[in-house]
Chains A and B, each alone.
Chain A
Amino acid sequence: MLKTVFYILSFITVASAIYTVTCRNLARAVFVFFATLFCLAGIYVFAFADFVAITQIMVYVGGIVILMLFGIMLSNRKLFEVLTETKAETKLFPISVLGGIALSLLVFAGLLNIIWLSNLGELAWIKSNIASNIAYQGDENSANSLGVNFMTSYLLPFETISVYLLAVLIGAAYLARRKRVR
């Protein structure tokens, strides 16, 4: 049952990711990217990362995708017409796209080869962690452990990243403002 759900989720993730990068209409691509991120959050739950999944939904799906849609639709209409790429070339495989496909397939083959060579299920540290009961079993409270870690071992990165996020958001608002005509 769980495995079926996992494979359905992963199928939707992969299919919508590929559709996102191949379709020409930008608004539709953003909506399908939304589906990719949402299903990815579901996959995180299968890796026992509940809190990360919720963060993914709130920050990415709730924030980034809405931000992109606002960015596309609140900017002027001419930009939106440029984006749909209707007048793009009709050739199915122009040379640049062919190069991109070749390079990404090459990288994919390399990654698969590395995954196959590394034999992930048999890694020593994973085996020892399972044996000494450090790996997640499924009944833990991961948010609790994450909170304790954030307030002890990772306090400095946590503070840094919050200040950084504030600075970045102010900077983005500054950059996106409408400038006075000189």
Chain B
Amino acid sequence: MLNDIPLEHFVIISAVLFCAGLFAVLTKKNAIMVLIGIEMMLNAAILNLVTFGAFDKHKNEGQVFALFAIVLAAAGVAVSLAIILNVYRQFKTIDPSKIEEMKY
């Protein structure tokens, strides 16, 4: 396999990251921590793409889509942080469970 490291170990790291991100999304009380959780889940997906992409060096689909996912995640963070700042201005809190309307 990859430098004699079994494929499962990469995938298990990815699973741990995904579950840590899921935990943050489910339980955290401020929106930036939720955002970090989402990023962690995206990184788990990217790790899987890269891992399986290592078995195709001609088409390189895994690595190409990992790059697309990184760019999409970057774009998502930029917009989400702007939205979080606006939410704070509007509601004076960024606790996701206390924000219940989208009125502007």
Contacts and interface: CB of A to CB of B under 8 A. Distances in A.
A binds B: yes
Contacts of A103: 22, 26
A38 B11 CA distance: 18
B85 A115 contact: no
B79 A108 contact: no
Nearest to A79: B88
A175 interface: yes
Nearest to A106: B19
A176 B94 contact: no
Contacts, number: 236
A68 B17 contact: no
Interface string A1-18: 011001000100110011
B3 to A, nearest CB: 5
Nearest to A112: B15
A146 B64 contact: yes
Given A64-B74, A120-B7, A104 B40 contact: no
Interface residues of B, number: 72
A35 interface: no
Residues of A in contact with B, size category: 35 or more
B94 A79 contact: yes
Interface of A: 2-3, 6, 10, 13-14, 17-18, 20-21, 26, 29-30, 33, 36-37, 40, 43-44, 46-49, 51-52, 55-56, 59-60, 63-64, 67-68, 71-72, 75, 79, 82-83, 85, 88, 96-97, 99-101, 103-105, 107-108, 111-112, 115, 120-121, 125-126, 129-130, 134-136, 138, 140, 142, 145-146, 149-150, 153-154, 157, 161, 164-165, 168-169, 171-173, 175-176
Given A13-B13, A49-B62, A75-B85, 8 more contacts: A29-B33, A40-B43, A47-B51, A52-B67, A56-B70, A83-B30, A146-B60, A173-B82
Interface of B: 1-13, 15-24, 26-30, 32-33, 35-37, 39-40, 43, 46-47, 50-51, 53-60, 62-64, 66-68, 70-75, 77-79, 81-86, 88, 93-94
Q: Which 8 A-B residue pairings sit nearest by Cβ, starting from the closest?
A: A100-B27, A175-B82, A100-B26, A176-B82, A168-B75, A111-B15, A21-B24, A172-B78
